[in-house]
Amino acid sequence: MSRFSLDGRKALVTGANTGIGQAIAVALATAGASVTCAGRRSCDETLAAISAAGGKGDGLLLDFADPMAAKDTFAGAGYDILVNNAGIIRRDDATDFSEADWDAVMDVNAKALFFTCQAFAKELLAQGKPGKIVNIASLLSFQGGIRVPSYTASKHAVAGLTKLLANEWAAKGINVNAIAPGYISTNNTEALRNDPARNQAILERIPAGRWGDPEDIADTAVYLAAPASNYVHGAVLNVDGGWLAR
C-alpha cells in the first residue's frame, strides 16, 4: 500500500463547507479516507464533490462558537484523523478592538481547537490506537499583521498548541502538526484579489508568483494524515509560495 494512502481511515474535517476545508475533505476522501465534513452550515456541496470523486463522506453540524461543541463526537466513532480548519476573523484597530470580538475569535480558533484535540486524543489513547491531527495555522502564526489582534493571537496559539500536544502525544502514537497557508484563492480573499493595487503588492512578495490554490493546502494535509509523515511531529509547515522566505 502507498505510504500516502488513507484507505481504511476515518477523518473529521472542521469548517469543511467551503474553501480550504472543502478542498482538504475532498483530498482526504480521494486518498481513501471516509470523511465527516463538519461545519456550522451544511456541507452538501463538499459531500457532492466527494461523491463525484468516488469517495465516501457524511456531514455533521458543529458550531464552534461553543468551544466544547465536539466533546462528545469521538467516543466510539472510529476517527483516527482530525483536521482543525474551522476559524473566524474580526478586524478593527487595536485601540478600538472590542472584548466581544476578542472572545469570539479566541473561542473558535484557539479554545475550540484545543478541546477538540483533547476529545479526539482521549478516545485514541483509551483504545491504544494511533492517529493524526492537522491544525490549520496561518502566516500570522509568525507575523503580526494589522487590525486583527485576536486572530493573530489565536494563530500564534495554534502554533504553540501544536508543539505542546506533539510533545505530550508523539510517543503515544498521535502525530500533531499544522499547516500555515499563505495567500490562497478562496472566497475569503476575493476582495484582495479584486483590488488591483493589493493584488499586485501581494504577488510581488510571493516568490512563486501566484496565489495558492486550496488544493495546495489539501495535498499537504493528505501528507500529514498519511503514513508518509509518521516521523513528523510538532511541525508548522508553511505552504505559502515562499512568502515567509522573502
Instruction: Please give the single-letter amino acid code of residue 180.
Output: A
Q: Give φ, ψ of 57 to 5 degrees.
A: -160, 165
Catalytic residue annotation: 151
Quickly list DSSP for 188-246. Answer: GGHHHHHSHHHHHHHHHH-TT-SPBPHHHHHHHHHHHHSGGGTT--S-EEEESTTGGG-
The answer to whether 130 touches 80, Cβ cutoff 8 Å, is yes
Instruction: Please give the single-letter amino acid code of residue 94.
Output: A
Of the candidates 228, 227, 215, which has an alpha carbon nearest to the alpha carbon of residue 179?
215
Crossing angle for the helix pair 149-169 and 99-106, to the nearest 10 degrees: 30
Cα dihedral: 163, 167, 172, 176 (round 10): 10
Radius of gyration of the chain measured on its C-alpha atoms: 17
Cα dist from 179 to 114, 122, 132, 238, whole Å: 16, 23, 13, 6
Q: Coil, strand, or helix at residue 155?
A: helix
Of the candidates 37, 32, 36, 39, which has an alpha carbon nearest to the alpha carbon of residue 55?
32
